[in-house]
Structure formats: C-alpha cells, structure tokens
Structure 1
Amino acid sequence: MNKIADQRKKVGATQAKLASILGWGPSRIANYEANSRTPKLEDCRAIVSGLKKLGCKCSLDDVFPPTAA
C-alpha cells in the first residue's frame, strides 16, 4: 500500500496537478493511489520528485513504505 494520496493532500495538490508535473494523465495517479496499478521503481522515484516540487517534504519510504518480510 502506498501513501501517495496522503502526501499529496498534505500539500493541497490534486491528482491532476501531480500528474501534470510528471507529464502523466491523472488516471495514472488515481490508479496508483487506488492500488489498482503498481508503479515501477523509476515511477516511484518520479512521484516522490513530483511531490517534492509541490512542496512536500517526503522520502521514498514515506510515500512507499517498505513491507515487512
């Protein structure tokens, strides 16, 4: 489970705004947030970078918490 929506909402950004920064369609962000689509590592890094551009102070682990082994 990811925390994209939680981090995005902390800075008051919409899915469309985050998607626009990343050059993606809003439905891609919506699918990731709903866990109906799993982002690749490079996409995860891009999402964190996009959130940071919006003013979010987050890390990869904040947005995509590691799962217990």
Structure 2
Amino acid sequence: MTNIKQILKNIGKSQGLLAKSIGISQGAVNHYANGNRKPSYEMAWKIVKALNELGANCSFDDVFPEPAFETRQEKKSG
C-alpha cells in the first residue's frame, strides 16, 4: 500500500494532475495508489519528485512505507 492518495488529499491535488506531471495515465496512478500495481523503482522516485513539486514535503518512505507484515516478520525473526 502507498500513501499517494493521502498525500494528494493533504495538498489538494488530484491523481490526474500527478499523472500529467509524470507522463502516465490517471488509471496507472490509481493502480499505484491502491496497491494494485507496484511501480518500478524509477517510477516510484518520479512519483515522489512530482508530489514534492506539487507542494508536498515528503520522502520516499513517506510515500512508499514498508508493508506492516514485513515489519512484523522482521521482529519475529530478530
């Protein structure tokens, strides 16, 4: 899961505007935002950069946090 939707909401911008700023379809942004598709590493950085250019003040980890289940597994094995 990503925080794309929440960040866009916080800055009052749309998925369509984000999509236009990085040259992909609004549908692709929606798939990334809902976790239906995982962006490539390069695309993920483009998304973070575009969000910041649109007024967000976010890091890669803010937009793409580690999944909670991985954190729990790491705690069990650690």
TM-score (norm. length: structure 1): 0.93
User: Structure with the greater relative contact order (CA < 8 A, sep ≥ 6): 1 or 2?
Assistant: 1
Q: What is the RMSD computed on CA atoms of the aligned residues?
A: 0.9
Measured against aligned partners, the alpha-carbon deviations of 1:13-54 in whole angstroms (never above 9, x if no partner) come to: 101000000011100001111111111111110000010010
Unpaired segments ≥5 residues, structure 2: none
Report how many residues are paired.
69
For 2:12, the equivalent position in structure 1 comes to 12
**% identical aligned pairs:** 35
Task: Kindly name which structure, 1 or 2, has the bigger radius of gyration based on alpha carbons.
Answer: 2
Q: CA deviation at 1:10?
A: 0.8
Unpaired segments ≥5 residues, structure 1: none
- Relative to total residues, which structure has the larger helix share, 1 or 2? 2
- Partner amino acid, structure 1, of 2:63: V
